[in-house]
Amino acid sequence: MCLFSFLVVIIFSFAFGTDLQVYNGMVPGILWVAFIFSGLLGLNRSFGTERDKGTLSGLLLCPVAPWEIFLAKMIGTLIFTTIMEIFTFLVFIILYNQNVLPFLVPLSLVIFLGTLGFSIVGTIFSAMSSATKARDVILSILVFPISVPVIIASVKATGLILEGRSIQTVYAWLKILVAFDMVFLLLAYLTFSHIMEE
Amino acid sequence: MTPKRITKIIFELFTFVMMLLALYAIFFYAPVEKTMGLVQKIFYIHVPAAFIAFLAFFITFAASILYLVKKDNQWDLIALCSAEIGIIFCTIVLVTGPIWAKPVWNVWWTWDPRLTTTLILWFIYVAYLMLRGVVGENKKANFSAVFGIIGFVNVPLTFFAIRLWRTIHPVMITSRGINISGPMKDTLALTFSAFCLLFIFLLLTRMRLEKMKRATETVIAMFEERHHF
């Protein structure tokens, strides 16, 4: 996962070369493409092996609600994705010569909210796609259109913060991220038992 | 002939006549718009198609909820058929839009909230159909119902996220009424009704087909089971 996201960051710097020093606006986009693509790679394995080896049936036999299994899986995905993002971010700072120290707190907030939204949607769909024949393909087809609001809001908010704007300008995007996270947590709570139904 | 069948034929004929009338109204009754010219006529197809697409996706959403609550396959069937027809109308919207936009806005496409949301909608419901294609029979209805709900709930979020950018889509129908003149308004009303009838006709036909398909599958499954013994 980490290696893949390093490669994404590096390939982008090859693809755009020195243009990136001129058009700084592309930089947040590259960061989030690396996050989302590598995150998807991790999601593919979130439910896959468990379904193959029968662990999932064991989990369902445990005296816990499907919703609790969802929360546990989602938090697991969130932690692993966050670790990957921290390493990617370090590589990103070095390669793209970004000065992030003054904006570390708002930036972490945006990255956390964006990653949370992506993990919620991703976990729901990973549970679905692991039960199908075409796992990897179907997961990306399901996740990308649904996570459009997260991607737009995260990229825009990251861009504004890196430009050194105040937290007020980012406020509208943060609201979208929070709304997305809450709506999809609620939806997962309401529907996850139906996905786990055998 | 049963009365049900006669009603069906009358309804089909009526839909056909309404579609013809709508075409006549578009090309002969409605005046040519002053600044945009002939290309404005695509509006009479574009707007009702957009409305039908949203209606169809809303029906999929509602039927998906009802399926999860009641677990009745009838609702799954409605959700599937409505989503398929919705994609067709959504495609019509996405094709007629750029044809109109090129001479008027001088670009085929712009990242306006309405355009982008419609495009994302199209992707979501194509994904819905693809999901149905790869899931096993026992999980198909559940999975697609969950996705049908998630996909629709996502639409306002996508719309608001994109609306924070600039919008240039013409607003024809506002809270104060419709922004166009008499004969144009009549033509639009006519095409709206014709498209609604067409939608109902397509939905009923598609549902009948899907019911027959499912019945045939059950018969084949029963037949195969017997041969094993």
Residue-wise over B36-71: b if at least 16 C-beta within 10 A, else e? Answer: eeeebbbbbbbbbbbbbbbbbbebbbbbbbbbbeee
In this prediction, residue B145 carries a pLDDT of 93
**Domain-embedded: residue B75:** yes
**Domain-embedded: residue B6:** no
Low-confidence ranges of chain B (pLDDT < 70): 165-181, 229
CA distance A36 to A171: 22
**Domain-embedded: residue B7:** no
Tokens of B171: 């607003």
CB-based contact A184 B150, cutoff 8 Å: yes
Which of B120, B153, B161 is nearest residue A145 as measured by Cβ atoms?
B120
Which of A131, A141, A152 is nearest residue B127 as measured by Cβ atoms?
A141
Tell me which residue range forms the domain holding B105: 14-228
Distance from CA of A188 to the nearest CA of B (A): 9
Provide the total of helices (H) and of strands (E) in chain A, helices listed first. 9, 0
Per-block mean pLDDT, blocks of 10 residues, chain A (198 long)? 84 75 75 91 83 82 87 92 91 80 86 94 91 85 91 88 79 89 93 84
**Domain-embedded: residue B111:** yes
In this prediction, residue B33 carries a pLDDT of 74
**Domain-embedded: residue B4:** no
Q: Are A39 and A84 in contact (CB under 8 A)?
A: yes
In this prediction, residue B41 carries a pLDDT of 83
Q: What is the ipTM of this complex?
A: 0.86
**Domain-embedded: residue B5:** no
Domain count for chain B, please give it.
1
Which of A148, A156, A173 is nearest residue B120 as measured by Cβ atoms?
A148
